[in-house]
């Protein structure tokens, strides 16, 4: 999936690797969903949480590709794009994880009133 995002999105704006950003933002949202879901179903063994969050979703998101892309920008002395990339990934991923948790809480709240 991450490769497909890179192939589809990176040509749109070559200076900023949008495929990796999209993978990290989608992964952050999905990790938020999973965190809230797995917290509410505490009877599941911790290995399930590790499998979902660290295994599957950790495979979607990628710190190594992000690091390589930022270092490439910095080596080319593209300080602004490097900074934008760092900010977009870190702040965007955190925001999407919070959004995922909030969305799952809203689903549970809606289900409790329905």
Q: Tens digits of per-residue pLDDT, 68-103?
A: 899 999 999 999 999 999 999 999 999 999 999 999
Residue with tokens 């990796």: 20
User: Is 22's pLDDT higher than 80?
Assistant: yes
At residue 81, the pLDDT reads 94
Residues 33-70 as b or e (16 or more Cβ within 10 Å = b): bbbbbbeeeeeeeeeebeebbeeebeebbbeebbeebb
Residue 54's pLDDT band (cuts 50, 70, 90): confident
Q: Are the C-beta atoms of residues 33 and 105 closer than 8 Å to each other? A: no
User: Is 62's pLDDT higher than 80?
Assistant: no
User: Is 43's pLDDT higher than 80?
Assistant: yes
At residue 16, the pLDDT reads 85
Neighbours of 24 (CB within 10 A): 24
Which contiguous run of DSSP H or E holds residue 110?
A: helix 79-113
Residue 64's pLDDT band (cuts 50, 70, 90): confident
User: Is 14's pLDDT higher than 90?
Assistant: no
Residue 16: what are its φ and ψ, rounded to 5°?
Answer: -115, 115
User: Is 60's pLDDT higher than 90?
Assistant: no
Q: How far apart are CA 31 and CA 111, in angstroms?
A: 21
Greater model confidence, 87 or 111 = 87
């Amino acid at each position: 999936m991450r490769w497909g995002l890179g192939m589809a999105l990176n040509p749109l704006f070559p200076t900023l690797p949008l495929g990796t950003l999209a993978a990290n933002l989608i992964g952050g949202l999905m990790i938020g969903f999973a965190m809230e879901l797995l917290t509410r179903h505490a009877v599941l063994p911790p290995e399930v949480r590790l499998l979902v969050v660290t295994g599957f979703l950790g495979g979607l998101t990628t710190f190594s590709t992000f690091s390589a892309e930022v270092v490439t920008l910095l080596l080319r002395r593209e300080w602004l794009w490097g900074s934008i990339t760092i900010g977009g990934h870190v702040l965007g991923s955190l925001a999407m994880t919070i959004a995922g948790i909030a969305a799952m809480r809203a689903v549970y709240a809606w289900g409790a009133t329905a």
